[in-house]
Structure 1
């Protein structure tokens, strides 16, 4: 998929060490990981199940705070806050209609 998307859209796609995950850069970032112009960066990985669907992630300041908001608004957390070593934390949630989406909190740079 790396060749397909990088050729199609001109995205920069890099494999991360130690896992079957590819970082996708569609717009440039500064040294802190902030986008320099509007856009969406993300990642790709191989499906684990044939019926598996794409999940869109939203960067948030605190996965814990947004997890509480989701519950308060009638949604639910389906995967609680989980660390991605060296990158940050994620959680998976569902809105009140059952649509799955992700939250991602970036690990502060030292």
Structure 2
């Protein structure tokens, strides 16, 4: 049994107003195979890319807007939950057990962005893979205080700052890394940016062609907000909303 690690993105979860419609949408756009998880007493869908489980889908709680959230591995969920609160964040659910999987909690950072933590029983899963289509591969934080957010997540998960890219006046895109790999970026949230008014995380999933994914998004009733746009390294990205309103992004060749 492998020892649980700290700081690796390990799961992606969609809360939506219509799990059936959302499942059909992402199956068409991302190529996922989606089926019921079999969890007793709960309607929870599992999305697979090839043989790997990459995401979960469930009905949003009343009053909660449709949204994607991602989970990060911790070695001790209860301790990490206390560390979140000591650092000015808040735990909104848990810690609680997931039979056969581990122990988790849902939280918000000090600026208000939602994220999750997961202490896995054995390995850290295969949902995050920067070289595989349909898997999580990048994580973008729009926040009111990028420096404070990086310090918070750095202390909690061991993430380190990477390169910084100047996107324009007063707009810096700060990369962060887990180990030797860049896994995301942080930037100051501006009023003209699409998305919620409060800080939020935007997950990116790999695709085999961004232009084709844009066409599939429109065909399935989604709204393309941005892209295709080339990013450093030669990949292209697109940002969109699904028909229920949750934002997501895809990255891959044009």
Do the two structures share a fold, i.e. TM-score over 0.5?
yes
Shift of 1:90: 1.5
- In structure 2, how many angstroms separate the alpha carbons of the residues matched to 1:105 and 1:11? 25
**Is it true that 1:99 corresponds to 2:120 in the alignment?**
no
Aligned to 2:81: 67
Q: Name the Cα RMSD after superposition.
A: 2.5
Shift of 1:22: 0.8
Aligned to 2:37: 16
Aligned to 1:38: none
TM-score normalised by length of structure 2: 0.34
TM-score normalised by length of structure 1: 0.70
Aligned length: 99
User: Using a 3 Å threshold, how does the CA distance of structure 1 residues 60 and 22 change in structure 2: closer, same or farther?
Assistant: same
- In structure 2, how many angstroms separate the alpha carbons of the residues matched to 1:76 and 1:65? 13
Structure number having the greater strand percentage: 2
Q: Deviations over 1:39-88 (max 9, x none)?
A: xx220012232433425132313322321331232212122211122222
Q: Please point out which of 42, 45, 56 is paired with 2:58.
A: 45
Aligned to 1:82: 96
Which is further off, 1-10 or 19-28? Answer: 19-28
User: Secondary structure at the residue paired with 2:85?
Assistant: helix
Structure 2: unaligned runs, 5 residues or longer: 1-21, 124-254
Structure 1: unaligned runs, 5 residues or longer: 34-40
User: Using a 3 Å threshold, how does the CA distance of structure 1 residues 76 and 27 change in structure 2: closer, same or farther?
Assistant: farther
User: Secondary structure at the residue paired with 1:45?
Assistant: strand
Aligned to 2:221: none
Shift of 1:6: 0.9
